[in-house]
């Protein structure tokens, strides 16, 4: 959300900023790449909706290119190895679920957790981004809402049969997100993004998604805060 | 549908409420967690007017805690209010009152400059501070409770502490125009604004707190109690009516003295029970019937289908608007809390 106090003066070309940016930018690029692959995998699991999923996958690819341009604009080389490590626990969980045809778990990981996290992070980043990246990110975040919506609609339509698996997948994956957040806490701060604002925006977005799917406020409060205290 | 944005009074209170309501994920957490916690709709409310009309409402818990202000976590505090407003709007609530510290934070940190919250463009006409009804109810408390104590307003001196605030200035306007009050004592920190108010009213004495209190038959306290200020009841007149309209309320427990009558200001009682759970949590004496007048304003606006920010900004409350909300208040069965 918009900042109230004068935003700290960020020097986008300082070594400190560029160093932090090399990891955050890589995470975003890798995240979009994995999202692209995940939507293709989902297309295999949901053949009726393959065309739509291929469309979403293409969008993710375009987002990736946009963020690569943001890195080039600041003359930063993204640390993609760091990003792959960063995503690996979540990535592995997605792969395992996909191999077992667990559509609900796959949708929770990609369409809810990752999309909500992306939306929260992009919204928090936009007010502190450089002009070039701001324009790119504003365009991307609008489309991410469509991706979130895909998962919401499918899970809403299949709520009763998905509920138990969603709860289980939430327990298995949400704590990973909090750990990921801790890993980039210091870098995000250098970029002017505050952890508590990120967590709050994520919980708002994720809570809204769970609400749209059919969970009660009580479920949402329990699920969206799951594992946060122990991290 | 109407809405109320509220919050709990302290971290300890928040933890105990979370435990009571069965949210262990929230109950064991410290301030850091609450600084990241999202707003939630935690109660559905049904209110019936004495006219028979029935309306539905929602209680939005903002997860704001006063400790956020005390520890200067201003960004967290302001996020809570803005996010709760966005939450209310997203849930289609037509008119929502900003309760407790919410409207104070909104005004003090100039949050009206923030319209875009993620993918929500805030529509301020869906919100009200509720201050017009609060000011009206405080004035009616002055008029009616003074009678209960045998204080004759036409001979009485009324001290208004916090006179230049949104509620304080409205109370001054009403007491000047609608009540036959002998003398008004105006107390506030900002001298320039005090002089402006005095010019507007064409009357009233500007005074310091220490000087004013011993002269007052009635004290209307509409400033938040700054730390370190305590009223010595021994210096007050007997009888003295002390109306605690500030937020948070704390004079009742601090001032206990024979002849000094403390009344919770800006509180209304409804003629019929309200179906909600939340008021027992915020420690009202009669939780099914008593509530903050600012909350009641959003109910009145819903009853009257006045979906507009009836109370907004600072020092815009006119006697006519107080009259208008007051008529609706009486029509639907609300009355000021008395002694």
- What confidence tens digit (pLDDT) does each residue in A77-103 have? 999 999 999 999 999 999 999 999 999
> B187: which strand partners?
B161
**Quick one: which of B14, B40, B130 has its CA closest to A211?**
B40
Q: A123 and B118: CB-CB below 8 Å?
A: yes
Q: Are A229 and A178 in contact (CB under 8 A)?
A: no
Interface mutation target, options B22, B30, B69, B118, chain A, most CBs of A under 10 Å: B118
Measured in whole angstroms, the distance separating CA A66 from the mean position of its chain's CA atoms is: 16
Q: Is B7 left (phi over 0), alpha (psi -120 to 50) or beta?
A: beta
Q: A200 and B35: CB-CB below 8 Å?
A: yes
Q: Look up tokens 């937020």; give the residue.
A: B247
Q: Are B19 and B8 in contact (CB under 8 A)?
A: no
Rounded percentage of chain B residues whose pLDDT exceeds 70: 96
Out of A1, A195, A205, closest to residue B79 by CB: A1
Instruction: Check CB contact of A228 with chain B, cutoff 8 Å.
Output: yes
Q: A204 and B25: CB-CB below 8 Å?
A: no
The tens digit of pLDDT for each residue in B90-118 reads 999 999 999 989 998 998 898 999 888 98
H-type alpha helices, B42-130: 66-70, 74-90, 101-108
**Quick one: which of B65, B58, B164 has its CA closest to B107?**
B164
Contacts of B76 in chain A (CB under 8 A): 196
Q: How far is A224 from chain B (nearest CA, A)?
A: 10
B281-317: burial string, b at 16+ Cβ within 10 Å, e else:
bbebeebebbbbbbbbbbbbbbbbebbebbbbeebeb
- Structure confidence at residue B225 (pLDDT): 57
Vertex B129 angle, CA B140 and B64, to 5° = 120
Q: B78 and A194: CB-CB below 8 Å?
A: no
| C-alpha neighbours within 13 Å on the C-beta side of residue A178 | 19
Q: A1 and B90: CB-CB below 8 Å?
A: no
Cβ-in-10-Å burial (0-12, 13-18, 19+) of A107 comes to buried
Q: Are B31 and B11 in contact (CB under 8 A)?
A: yes
Out of A3, A217, A226, closest to residue B41 by CB: A217
pLDDT over 80 at A8, yes or no? no
The tens digit of pLDDT for each residue in A37-55 reads 999 999 999 999 999 999 9
Residues B151 and B218: their CA atoms lie apart, in Å, by: 9
Q: How far is B143 from chain A (nearest CA, A)?
A: 42
- Structure confidence at residue B255 (pLDDT): 80
Contacts of B38 in chain A (CB under 8 A): 200, 203-204, 207, 224
Lookup: tokens for B74: 């201003």
- Structure confidence at residue A3 (pLDDT): 45
Q: How far is B228 from chain A (nearest CA, A)?
A: 29
Residues A26 and A29: their CA atoms lie apart, in Å, by: 5
Cβ-in-10-Å burial (0-12, 13-18, 19+) of A168 comes to middle
**Confidence band, pLDDT 50/70/90 cuts, at residue B42:** confident
Contacts of A193 in chain B (CB under 8 A): none
Phi first, then psi: give them for residue B18, nearest 5 degrees: -60, -40
The tens digit of pLDDT for each residue in A176-203 reads 999 999 999 999 999 999 999 999 999 9
Smallest CA–CA distance from A222 into chain B, residue? B25
The tens digit of pLDDT for each residue in B130-156 reads 999 999 999 999 999 999 999 999 999
Instruction: Check CB contact of B25 with chain A, cutoff 8 Å.
Output: yes
Instruction: Check CB contact of A222 with chain B, cutoff 8 Å.
Output: yes
Instruction: Check CB contact of B75 with chain A, cutoff 8 Å.
Output: yes
Residues B181 and B179: their CA atoms lie apart, in Å, by: 6
Q: Residues with Cβ < 8 Å from A149, sequence gap 6 or more? A: none
Contacts of A208 in chain B (CB under 8 A): 90
- Distance set, CA A215 to CA A170, B10, B59, B60, B92 (Å): 13, 29, 18, 17, 18
Instruction: Check CB contact of B90 with chain A, cutoff 8 Å.
Output: yes
Phi first, then psi: give them for residue B171, nearest 5 degrees: -60, -45
H-type alpha helices, B91-152: 101-108, 131-148
Average pLDDT, chain A: 93
Vertex A84 angle, CA A152 and A167, to 5° = 30
Contacts of A194 in chain B (CB under 8 A): 75
Phi first, then psi: give them for residue B267, nearest 5 degrees: -115, 135
Out of A2, A123, A200, closest to residue B36 by CB: A200
For A86, other C-beta atoms within 10 Å of its C-beta total 21
Q: Reduced to 3 states, what is the DSSP secondary structure of residue B267?
A: strand
For B196, other C-beta atoms within 10 Å of its C-beta total 14
Lookup: tokens for B329: 């208040």
Using only C-alpha atoms, what is the Rg of chain B?
19
pLDDT over 50 at A2, yes or no? no
Interface mutation target, options B37, B39, B44, B107, chain A, most CBs of A under 10 Å: B37
Q: B74 and A204: CB-CB below 8 Å?
A: no
Rounded percentage of chain A residues whose pLDDT exceeds 90: 87
> A2: which strand partners?
none
Lookup: tokens for A46: 């949901």
- Distance set, CA B117 to CA A120, A146, B144, B282, B287 (Å): 11, 18, 44, 28, 34
Contacts of A212 in chain B (CB under 8 A): none
Instruction: Check CB contact of A224 with chain B, cutoff 8 Å.
Output: yes
Contacts of B32 in chain A (CB under 8 A): 196
Q: Are B142 and B324 in contact (CB under 8 A)?
A: no
Q: A208 and B35: CB-CB below 8 Å?
A: no
Interface mutation target, options B14, B25, B68, chain A, most CBs of A under 10 Å: B25
Cβ-in-10-Å burial (0-12, 13-18, 19+) of B324 comes to middle
Q: Per-residue pLDDT averaged across A116-143, rounded?
A: 94
pLDDT over 90 at A173, yes or no? yes
Q: Are B36 and A203 in contact (CB under 8 A)?
A: yes
pTM of the full structure: 0.91
> B221: which strand partners?
B161, B244
- Structure confidence at residue B86 (pLDDT): 97
* Sheet of strand B267-270: strand arrangement: B290-292, B267-270, B334-336
Q: Which of A203-217, B28-42, B223-237, B325-339 has the lowest mean pLDDT?
A: B223-237
Q: Are A229 and B33 in contact (CB under 8 A)?
A: yes
pLDDT over 50 at B36, yes or no? yes
Q: Look up tokens 């929770």; give the residue.
A: A108
Smallest CA–CA distance from B117 into chain A, residue? A1
Interface mutation target, options A6, A174, A221, A230, chain B, most CBs of B under 10 Å: A221
pLDDT over 60 at A4, yes or no? no
Q: Reduced to 3 states, what is the DSSP secondary structure of residue B101?
A: helix
Interface mutation target, options B58, B71, B79, chain A, most CBs of A under 10 Å: B79
**Quick one: which of A196, A110, A93 has its CA closest to A152?**
A110
- This complex has an ipTM of 0.87
Q: How far is A190 from chain B (nearest CA, A)?
A: 17
Out of B37, B38, B117, closest to residue A1 by CB: B117
Between A118 and A229, name the one with better pLDDT: A118
Q: A196 and B32: CB-CB below 8 Å?
A: yes
Contacts of B116 in chain A (CB under 8 A): 2
């Amino acid at each position: 959300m918009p900042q109230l106090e004068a935003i700290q003066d960020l020097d986008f070309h300082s070594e400190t900023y560029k160093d932090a940016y090399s990891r955050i930018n890589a995470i975003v690029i890798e995240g979009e790449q994995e999202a692209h692959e995940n939507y293709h995998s989902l297309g295999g699991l949901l053949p009726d909706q393959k065309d739509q999923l291929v469309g979403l996958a293409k969008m993710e690819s375009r987002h990736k290119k946009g963020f690569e341009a943001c890195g080039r604009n600041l003359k930063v080389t993204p640390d993609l190895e760091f990003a792959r490590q960063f995503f690996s626990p979540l990535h592995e969980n997605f792969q395992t679920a996909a191999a077992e045809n667990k559509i609900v778990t796959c949708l929770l990981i990609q369409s809810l957790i990752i999309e909500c996290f992306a939306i929260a992070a992009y919204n928090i980043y936009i007010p502190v981004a450089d002009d070039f990246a701001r324009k790119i990110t504003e365009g991307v975040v609008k489309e991410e809402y469509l991706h979130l919506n895909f998962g919401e609609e499918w899970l809403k339509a299949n709520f009763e049969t998905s509920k138990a698996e969603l709860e289980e997948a939430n327990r298995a994956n949400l704590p990973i997100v909090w750990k990921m957040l801790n890993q980039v806490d210091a870098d995000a701060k250098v970029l002017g993004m505050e952890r508590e604002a990120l967590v709050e925006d994520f919980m708002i977005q994720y809570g809204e998604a769970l609400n749209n799917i059919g969970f009660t406020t009580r479920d949402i409060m329990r699920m969206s805060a799951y594992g946060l205290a122990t991290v | 549908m109407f809405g109320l944005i509220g919050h709990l009074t302290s971290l300890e209170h928040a933890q105990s409420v979370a435990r009571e309501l069965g949210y262990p994920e929230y109950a064991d957490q410290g301030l850091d967690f609450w600084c990241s916690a999202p707003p939630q709709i935690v109660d559905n409310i049904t209110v019936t007017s004495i006219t028979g009309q029935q309306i539905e409402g929602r209680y939005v818990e903002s997860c704001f805690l006063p400790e956020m202000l005390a520890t200067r976590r201003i960004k967290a505090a302001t996020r809570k209010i803005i996010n709760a407003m966005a939450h209310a709007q997203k849930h289609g609530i037509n008119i929502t009152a900003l309760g407790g510290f919410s409207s104070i934070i909104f005004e003090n940190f100039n949050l009206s400059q923030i319209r875009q919250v993620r993918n929500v463009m805030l529509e301020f006409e869906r919100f009200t501070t509720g201050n017009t009804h609060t000011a009206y109810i405080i004035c009616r408390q002055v008029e009616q409770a003074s009678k209960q104590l045998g204080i004759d307003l036409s001979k009485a001196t009324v001290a208004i502490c916090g006179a230049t605030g949104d509620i304080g200035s409205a109370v001054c306007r009403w007491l000047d125009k609608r009540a036959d009050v002998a003398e008004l004592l105006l107390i506030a920190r900002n001298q320039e604004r005090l002089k402006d108010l005095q010019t507007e009213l064409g009357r009233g004495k500007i005074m310091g707190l220490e000087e004013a209190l011993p002269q007052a038959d009635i004290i209307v306290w509409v400033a938040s109690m700054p730390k370190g200020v305590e009223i010595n009841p021994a210096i007050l007149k007997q009888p003295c009516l002390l109306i605690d309209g500030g937020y948070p309320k704390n004079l009742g427990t601090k001032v206990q003295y024979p002849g000094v009558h403390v009344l919770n200001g800006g509180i209304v009682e409804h003629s019929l029970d309200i179906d909600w759970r939340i008021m027992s949590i915020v420690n009202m004496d009669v939780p099914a019937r008593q509530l903050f007048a600012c909350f009641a304003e959003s109910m009145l606006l819903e009853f009257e289908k006045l979906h507009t920010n009836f109370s907004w900004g600072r020092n815009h409350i006119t006697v006519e608007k107080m009259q208008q909300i007051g008529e609706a208040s009486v029509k639907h069965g609300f009355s000021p809390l008395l002694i």
